[in-house]
């Protein structure tokens, strides 16, 4: 997702992971999306505190200029819900940037990232970085 990178203009050989503020977590899950009365499902490739990457482009009925509501089902009783905007669509993938998320969903997402990074301190740094962006 395009705005998950730092704004460094350095052209040194730094890798994308060194420049990235938010860790992308590979996460295979089905996602429910909605815009107005239109609802559809998609496959999640990865997720971060700033957004997510879907395995396919959005259906033609979806306006890329309007917010999309996303629900990622983690279990029967737990989900991550957020409002997103389209960052990019190419190579049959869609990058979505989180524009708003409720506190319970942030907690679930933080825990998911913590478990996948294996480092609570790293997850906490990312959450602090996210908060400082707002």
CATH of domain 22-133: 2.40.10.220
Segments making up each domain of the chain, as ranges? 22-133
Question: Mean per-residue pLDDT for 110-118?
Answer: 79
Q: Answer whether residue 12 shows pLDDT above 60.
A: no
What is the predicted pLDDT for the residue at 60? 92
pLDDT in tens, 91-102: 999 999 999 999
Question: Mean per-residue pLDDT for 117-134?
Answer: 65
| Long-range CB contact pairs, 109-116, < 8 A, 24+ | 109/47, 109/49, 109/80, 110/49, 112/25, 112/27, 112/47, 112/74, 112/80, 113/23, 113/25, 113/48, 113/49, 116/23, 116/25, 116/26, 116/27
Question: Mean per-residue pLDDT for 67-89?
Answer: 92
Q: Answer whether residue 6 shows pLDDT above 90.
A: no
């Amino acid at each position: 997702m395009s705005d998950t990178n730092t704004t460094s203009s350095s052209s040194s050989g730094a890798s994308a992971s060194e420049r990235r503020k938010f860790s992308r977590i590979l996460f295979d899950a089905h996602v429910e999306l909605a815009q107005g009365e239109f609802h559809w499902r998609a496959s999640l490739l990865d997720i971060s505190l700033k957004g997510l990457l879907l395995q396919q482009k959005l259906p033609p009925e979806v306006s890329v200029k309007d917010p999309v509501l996303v629900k990622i089902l983690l279990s029967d009783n737990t989900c991550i819900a957020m409002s997103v905007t389209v960052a990019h669509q190419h190579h049959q993938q869609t990058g979505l940037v989180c524009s708003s998320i409720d506190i319970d969903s942030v907690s679930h997402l933080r825990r998911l990232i913590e478990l996948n990074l294996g480092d609570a301190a790293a997850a906490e740094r990312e959450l602090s970085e996210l908060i400082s962006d707002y």
